[in-house]
Structure 1
Amino acid sequence: MRALARIISSGLLTIYCAGTFAASLEITPVTVELEASQNGQVFTLHNNGTEALSAQIRVYSWNQEDGDDQLTLTRDLIASPPIAQVAAGGEQIVRLVRAHPGGPAQEMAYRLFIDELPPPNAAPSTGIQFRFRYSVPVFLYAPGERGAPDTHWSLETH
Structure 2
Amino acid sequence: MRLPLIKSAVARVSLSVLTGLGLWGSVAHALTISPVLVELSPARRVVSITITNPGDRPLTFQTQVLGWSQPDGTDVYADTTQLFVVPPIAEIAAGGSQIFRVTTRTRQSPDEHAYRLIFEDVSEVSAPSAPTGETSISIRVNHDLPVFIAAAGKLRLQARLGPCTNAAALPATTGCVRLDNEGSRYLRVKSLTLEGANWRKDIPLGTRVLAGAWRQWTFDRPSQLTGSLHVKAETSDGPVTFEWPIPAR
Matches of 1:28 and 1:134 in 2, distance apart?
Answer: 12
- Residue 52 (str. 1) matches residue 58 (str. 2): yes
CA-CA distance at 1:124 after TM superposition:
5.8
Within 1, Cα distance between the matches of 2:121 and 2:67?
21
User: Which residue in 2 is equivalent to 1:43?
Assistant: 49
Instruction: Tell me the residue number matched to 1:134.
Output: 143
After TM superposition, list the pairs within 5 Å mapping 1:16-35 onto structure 2. Answer: 18=23, 21-23=26-28, 24-35=30-41
Alignment check: 8 A CA contact 2:127 2:138 kept: no
Deviation at 1:25, TM superposition (A): 2.2
- Aligned-pair Cα RMSD in Å: 2.8
Cα separation, partners in 2 of 1:72 and 1:152, compared to 1, 3 Å: closer
State the AA in 2 paired with 1:41. Answer: V
Q: Tell me if structure 1 keeps the 8 A contact 2:32–2:51.
A: yes
Q: 2:89 aligns with which of 83, 89, 92?
A: 83
Matched position secondary structure for 2:137:
coil
Partner SS for 2:32: strand
Name the TM-score, length of structure 2 as normaliser.
0.47
Q: Tell me which stretches of 4 or more aligned residues in structure 1 moved more than 4 Å.
A: 17-21, 122-126, 149-153
Equivalent position amino acid for 1:144 in 2: G
Q: In the alignment, is the contact (CA less than 8 A) between 1:42 and 1:96 conserved in 2?
A: yes
Deviations 1:30-68 (Å, cap 9, x if unpaired)?
100011223221111111211110001111111112332
Q: d(CA) in 2 for partners of 1:46 and 1:91?
A: 4
On the 8 A contact 1:21/1:130 being kept in 2, the answer is no
- Which structure is higher in RCO with an 8 Å CA cutoff and minimum separation 6? 1
Shift of the 87–141 alpha-carbon distance from structure 1 to 2, 3 Å rule, reads: same
Larger helix percent: 1
1:115 is paired with a residue whose SS is strand
Q: Provide the residue aligned with 1:92 in structure 2.
A: 98
Supply the distance in 1 between the matched residues of 2:120 and 2:67 (Cα, whole angstroms). Answer: 17
Q: Any gaps of 5 or more consecutive residues in structure 2?
A: 1-21, 130-135, 159-236, 240-249
TM-score by length of 1: 0.72
Q: Partner amino acid for 1:25?
A: L
**Deviation per CA, 1:44-96, whole angstroms, max 9, x where unpaired?**
11112111100011111111123321011211001111112111111100011
Q: Distance in 2 between matches of 1:50 and 1:107?
A: 40
- Say whether the 8 Å CA contact 1:37–1:103 is kept in structure 2: no
Percent sequence identity over matched residues? 33
Count the aligned residue pairs: 133
